[in-house]
């Protein structure tokens, strides 16, 4: 399925009372899509990582509709120490197929791992044709997946650096980064013009962050189509989450590109799994993740969480001790023991695919309530809302649409959705519960080409009494 990158402009409240969120993507039918999912690594510090169809179904049951596969430059390029490895391409094929079979789209992200050395200062100067060598590596991927509809696009330069260059971040961005992006986009679109290009900003040197944000501001436009702004946010100070996202929002406007958060979630420490309270405790992490999720949802941005991995390795660069982005705590390549103090926030209910326009949505973690407002367009097809009832509504849930349609799910009866009330003009059988994927399928909305308000709440509201 191809997607159209669309950015929606807010209208002044004095002119209109409603306006759809400006982020998200559109598919070929014009449905509003919110991408969510995980970074999928092909290896970790101890070797290769292998996934199977059960792992992908676990992702789906955590709300994933998109995967971001991390590419290794050393297995795709002729940089020193690197070479194209055919078996690696076969592995990538398998990951794309696993995602496609699970109903997920794929984004590829290029990392500079696997080469003997990658010196950013030399790369930017391009004295040995480094750009061409880098683009050659991408062309392998572009050619291989140009006709694969489930491949959404390419995150072309992961966390570019300045390091020791005697140049400002602004000048580095304008003189080197933006022209490189333009060159990559132009070459990519010769092969697959409908694919999306995800871009990031310069990753600032340690201690040079602004507002606790380590990513330099992009202040110059790229002036290319099919671009998605994919910043990372690893914020550990709650008061800076919204200001950082507001800055990203301004950059998005300037770039004319919707936001898809390419990575997020401050890493957890080895001590966090056993420490409930305190600075590095689970309660703090839950609060931090909830606040981040709320800001994301109010803006309507998609988000990709690092990493869908077990805890086989740890990072050692933060003062709090060994840390990891892995969402599982068991010491295997692909884990099963969730860090639920973060995974329950990651796997929160949200509208995945809406036939029409998403006006607003927000999941309240305290009340376990999803509030959603859409302007429907039934002619565009079905809609999907991820619920995650297995973790958020083990006692069942009720769906209230426009106050006059109420359906509910009782996990004890295992008969699908039941109807408490429905207006005469609408058949409640248009709302279907997919227990395996943990999502609602809406074949059509009660009010077509109008505003529909949807609320999902815990419990059965005494409907059986």
Could you tell me the CATH number of the domain that includes residue 245? Answer: 3.20.20.80
User: Domain boundary at 286, 320, 347, which?
Assistant: 347
Helices and strands of the chain, counted as H and E runs: 10, 26
H or E element at residue 66 = strand 66-72
Residue 6 belongs to some domain of the structure: no
The whole-angstrom separation of Cα 124 and Cα 132 is: 12
User: Do residues 327 and 261 both lie within one domain?
Assistant: yes
Residue 237 belongs to some domain of the structure: yes
Token pair of 29 as six digits:
């039918």
How much of the chain is in helix, strand and coil states, percent to nearest 5?
25, 25, 45
Residue 23 belongs to some domain of the structure: no
Residue 419 belongs to some domain of the structure: yes
User: Do residues 98 and 199 both lie within one domain?
Assistant: yes
User: Do residues 280 and 325 both lie within one domain?
Assistant: yes
The whole-angstrom separation of Cα 388 and Cα 380 is: 25
> pLDDT per residue over 179-204, tens digit each?
999 999 999 999 999 999 999 999 99
pTM higher than 0.85 for the full model?
A: yes
User: Do residues 292 and 429 both lie within one domain?
Assistant: no
User: Do residues 187 and 204 both lie within one domain?
Assistant: yes
**42 — pLDDT class (breaks 50, 70, 90):** very high
Domain count, the chain: 2
For CA atoms 204, 201, 65, 152, the dihedral sign is negative
For 429-457, b/e burial (b = at least 16 CB within 10 A) is: ebbebeeebbbbebebbbbeeebbebbbb
Residue 170 belongs to some domain of the structure: yes
Token pair of 246 as six digits:
């507001």
| Residues of the domain holding 379 | 356-458
- The predicted pLDDT at position 227 comes to 98
Least confident of 12-16, 250-254, 311-315: 12-16
Angle between helices 130-145 and 178-191 (to 10 degrees): 30
Q: Taking the CB of residue 329, how many other CB atoms lie within 10 A of it?
A: 18
- The predicted pLDDT at position 312 comes to 92
The whole-angstrom separation of Cα 397 and Cα 404 is: 17
For CA atoms 198, 202, 205, 209, the dihedral sign is negative
User: Do residues 115 and 70 both lie within one domain?
Assistant: yes
User: Do residues 60 and 187 both lie within one domain?
Assistant: yes
Q: Taking the CB of residue 50, how many other CB atoms lie within 10 A of it?
A: 13
> pLDDT per residue over 326-385, tens digit each?
999 999 999 999 999 999 999 999 999 999 999 999 999 999 999 999 999 999 999 999
Q: What is the mean pLDDT of residues 405-417?
A: 94
Does residue 13 surpass a pLDDT of 60? no
**211 — pLDDT class (breaks 50, 70, 90):** confident
User: Do residues 181 and 293 both lie within one domain?
Assistant: yes
User: Do residues 328 and 271 both lie within one domain?
Assistant: yes
Return the residue matching tokens 């391409």: 89
Residue 151 belongs to some domain of the structure: yes
Q: What is the mean pLDDT of the chain?
A: 94
Percentage of residues of the chain with pLDDT beyond 90: 91
What is the distance between the terminal CA atoms of the chain, rounded to a whole angstrom? 45
- The predicted pLDDT at position 451 comes to 98
Instruction: Measure Cα distances from 231 to 134, 217, 462 in Å.
Output: 21, 10, 45
> pLDDT per residue over 52-86, tens digit each?
999 999 999 999 999 999 999 999 999 999 999 99
Q: Which of 355, 374, 380, 155 is nearest to 257 (CA)?
A: 155
Residue 465 belongs to some domain of the structure: no
Residue 330 Ramachandran class (φ > 0 left, ψ -120 to 50 alpha, else beta): beta
User: Domain boundary at 347, 371, 399, which?
Assistant: 347
User: Do residues 427 and 305 both lie within one domain?
Assistant: no
- The predicted pLDDT at position 209 comes to 87
Does residue 462 surpass a pLDDT of 80? no
The whole-angstrom separation of Cα 243 and Cα 128 is: 40
> pLDDT per residue over 295-313, tens digit each?
999 999 999 999 999 999 9
- Is residue 325 a contact partner of residue 313, using CB atoms and an 8 Å limit? no
Token pair of 348 as six digits:
């929160």
- The predicted pLDDT at position 280 comes to 86
For 172-196, b/e burial (b = at least 16 CB within 10 A) is: bbeebbbebbeebbebbbeebeebb
- The predicted pLDDT at position 408 comes to 97
**20 — pLDDT class (breaks 50, 70, 90):** confident
User: Do residues 112 and 236 both lie within one domain?
Assistant: yes
- The predicted pLDDT at position 465 comes to 47
User: Do residues 216 and 160 both lie within one domain?
Assistant: yes
DSSP string, 74-105: GGT--STT----HHHHHHHHHHHHHHHHTT-E
Does residue 3 surpass a pLDDT of 60? no
Residue 17 belongs to some domain of the structure: no
The whole-angstrom separation of Cα 62 and Cα 65 is: 9
- The predicted pLDDT at position 18 comes to 44
> pLDDT per residue over 129-171, tens digit each?
999 999 999 999 999 999 999 999 999 999 999 999 999 999 9
Least confident of 329-333, 398-402, 459-463: 459-463
User: Domain boundary at 295, 312, 347, which?
Assistant: 347
Q: What is the mean pLDDT of residues 103-109?
A: 98
Domain holding 438: CATH number?
2.60.40
Percentage of residues of the chain with pLDDT beyond 70: 95
């Amino acid at each position: 399925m191809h997607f159209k990158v669309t950015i929606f402009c807010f209208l002044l409240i004095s002119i209109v009372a409603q306006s759809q969120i400006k982020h998200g993507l559109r598919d070929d039918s014009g449905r509003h899509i919110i991408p969510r999912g995980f970074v999928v690594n092909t290896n970790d510090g101890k070797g290769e990582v292998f996934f199977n169809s059960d792992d992908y179904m676990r992702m789906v049951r955590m709300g994933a509709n998109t995967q971001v596969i991390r590419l290794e430059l050393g297995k795709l390029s002729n940089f020193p120490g690197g070479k194209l490895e055919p078996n690696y391409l076969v592995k990538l094929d398998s990951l794309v197929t696993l995602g496609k079979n699970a109903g997920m789209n794929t984004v590829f992200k290029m990392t500079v791992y696997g080469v003997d050395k990658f010196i950013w200062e030399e790369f930017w100067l391009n004295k040995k044709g480094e750009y061409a060598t880098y683009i050659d590596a991408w062309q392998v991927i572009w050619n291989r997946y140009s006709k694969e509809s489930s491949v959404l696009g390419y995150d072309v330069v992961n966390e570019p650096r300045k390091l020791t260059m005697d140049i400002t971040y602004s000048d580095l961005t304008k003189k080197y980064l933006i022209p490189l992006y333009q060159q990559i986009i132009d070459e990519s679109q010769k092969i697959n013009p409908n694919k999306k290009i995800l871009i990031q900003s310069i990753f600032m040197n340690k201690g040079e962050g602004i507002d606790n944000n380590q990513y330099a501001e992009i202040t110059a436009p790229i002036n290319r189509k099919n671009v998605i702004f994919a910043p990372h946010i690893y914020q550990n100070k709650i008061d800076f989450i919204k200001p950082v996202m507001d800055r990203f929002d301004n950059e998005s406007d300037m770039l004319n590109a919707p936001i898809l958060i390419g990575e997020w979630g401050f890493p957890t420490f080895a001590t966090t799994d056993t420490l409930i309270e305190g600075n590095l405790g689970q309660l703090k992490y839950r609060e931090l993740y909830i606040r981040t999720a709320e800001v994301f949802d109010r803006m309507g941005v998609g988000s990709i969480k690092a990493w869908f991995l077990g805890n086989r390795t740890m990072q050692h660069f933060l003062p709090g001790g060994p840390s990891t982005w892995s969402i599982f705590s068991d010491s295997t390549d692909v884990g099963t023991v969730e860090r639920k103090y973060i995974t329950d926030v990651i796997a929160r209910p949200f509208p995945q695919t809406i036939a029409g326009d998403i006006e607003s949505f927000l999941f309240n973690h305290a009340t376990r309530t999803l509030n959603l407002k859409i302007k429907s367009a039934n002619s565009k097809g079905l809609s999907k809302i991820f619920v995650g009832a297995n973790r958020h509504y083990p006692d069942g849930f009720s769906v209230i649409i426009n106050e006059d349609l109420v359906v509910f799910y009782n996990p004890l009866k295992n008969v699908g959705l039941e109807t408490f009330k429905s207006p005469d003009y609408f058949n409640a059988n248009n709302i279907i519960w997919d227990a395996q994927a943990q999502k609602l399928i809406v074949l059509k909305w009660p009010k077509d080409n109008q505003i529909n308000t949807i609320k999902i709440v815990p419990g059965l509201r005494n409907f059986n009494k």
